[in-house]
């Protein structure tokens, strides 16, 4: 399977291919049981790929294209790009969609693929309608790592799109960012660490956003925008001036992707640590060592308490942090043997009902920002814990004597 994806990516890495990449949400796959039919692709991209439907002369103009799936064996389908323009004909709709992906037989519409990374490679020539799309839905974390090693982490809800040769070269700049930030001058010569960016970002958070759930989403957004601006400052000039050799290009692409990966891994933990402290949850340790040299992301109240057999187990808690959890949630099951209920913080936009039941059997409890709860199947929502609830419940576990005893 590994070599299959590698060769597929090499094959697609041309200027005649337009690549669209996202993580499938529960709405995309149908796991929420909503009315959306198929994967959400923004209207502007549909318009770019199918210019002939961009008019209001007729009601709902459309074109068809052949959709082939390379990652899974399933029949090709005739997908349809359509401009639902009834607003210009006395009704309300005004959106462009691609539909008819083949229903449940296609991996794009399999609820079990909620959270998976999906790549859609459209044949594309400027000004002409695309007539063919080739689909790859990643099977597992290993395949996702192949993609993210050149693109950096693809966070749930974000989109990566553009000419495939630019995207897969690892130099695609993500969505454009407003430049209301005045970046420190020294960042031109030295690429700041994640911690430095977050410290700088703190001055730009909106004071009107209250509560840890909303604050986390807002702060990640601000910090990511700043990161992209710094990246642009460092990379754009080099890209525009061209490369003397392929090796020079590859070296730059590698340094960009390594930076994106290391930022992505640490960013969420740094934001959570900051929010815990701000909201009065100070009894925790990060990267504390448990059995077999394991290191849970957050251990409550401390490593010292964890290793003290006299400390009551029901007062120990751990929180693992994963931006996406589809295949990765099992990695956290053995990080702390004394702890029965494992809390997992994620930004994934939904899980399938079947996967959630597996998590429950393993006593994994999902902590998810409240604004993402409605992206989960209805039957799952009541079990989700908001960040605010997690903070309040965990604070309540530790009364003053615990703090005095175990936290320095």
Q: Known catalytic residues?
A: 306
How far is residue 365's CA from residue 130's CA, in Å, rounded to a whole number? 44
Q: What is the DSSP string of 231-275?
A: HHHHHHHHHHH--SSHHHHHHHHHHHHHHHHHHHHHHHHHHHHHH
On the question of a cis peptide bond just before residue 54, with omega within 30 degrees of 0, the verdict is: no
DSSP 8-state code for residue 328? T
CA distances in angstroms from 228 to 56, 191, 197, 233, 313, listed in the order given: 37, 11, 11, 9, 43
- Among 115, 118, 38, smallest CA distance to 79 is for 38
Pairing of strands 62-69, 285-286: unpaired
How far is residue 126's CA from residue 130's CA, in Å, rounded to a whole number? 9
């Amino acid at each position: 399977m590994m070599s299959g994806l590698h060769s597929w990516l090499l094959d697609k890495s041309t200027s005649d291919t337009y690549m669209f990449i996202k993580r499938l949400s529960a709405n995309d796959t149908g796991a929420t049981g909503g009315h959306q039919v198929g994967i959400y692709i923004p209207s502007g991209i549909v318009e770019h790929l199918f210019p002939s439907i961009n008019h209001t002369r007729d009601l709902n103009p459309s074109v068809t294209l052949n959709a082939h799936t390379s990652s899974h064996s399933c029949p090709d389908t005739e997908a349809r790009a359509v401009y639902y323009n009834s607003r210009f004909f006395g009704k309300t709709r005004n959106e462009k969609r691609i539909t008819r992906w083949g229903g449940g037989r296609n991996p794009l519409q399999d609820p079990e693929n909620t959270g998976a990374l999906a790549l859609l490679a459209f044949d594309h020539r400027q000004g002409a309608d695309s007539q063919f799309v080739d689909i790859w839905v990643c099977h597992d974390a290993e395949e996702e790592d192949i993609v993210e090693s050149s693109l950096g982490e693809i966070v749930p809800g974000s989109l990566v799109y553009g000419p495939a040769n630019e995207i897969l070269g690892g130099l695609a700049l993500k969505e454009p960012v407003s430049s209301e930030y005045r970046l420190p001058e020294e960042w031109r010569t030295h690429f700041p660490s994640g911690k430095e960016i977050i410290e700088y970002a703190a001055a730009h958070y909106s004071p009107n956003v209250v509560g840890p759930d909303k604050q986390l989403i807002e702060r990640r957004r601000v910090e990511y925008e700043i990161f992209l601006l710094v990246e642009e400052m460092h990379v754009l000039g080099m890209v525009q001036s061209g490369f003397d050799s392929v090796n020079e290009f590859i070296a730059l692409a590698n340094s960009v992707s390594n930076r994106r990966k290391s930022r992505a891994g640490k960013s969420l933990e740094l934001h959570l640590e900051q929010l815990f402290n701000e909201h009065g949850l100070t009894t925790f340790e990060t990267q504390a060592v448990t059995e077999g040299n394991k290191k849970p992301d957050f251990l409550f109240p401390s490593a010292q308490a964890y290793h003290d057999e006299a400390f009551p187990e029901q007062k120990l808690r751990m929180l693992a942090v994963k931006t996406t959890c589809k295949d990765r949630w099992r990695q956290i099951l053995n990080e702390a043997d004394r702890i029965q209920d494992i809390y997992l913080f994620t930004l994934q936009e939904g899980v399938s009902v079947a996967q959630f039941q597996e998590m429950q059997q393993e006593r994994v409890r999902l902590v998810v920002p409240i604004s993402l709860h409605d992206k989960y199947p209805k039957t799952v929502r009541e079990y989700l814990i908001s960040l605010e609830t997690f903070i309040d419940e965990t604070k309540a576990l530790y009364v003053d004597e615990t703090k005095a005893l175990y936290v320095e």
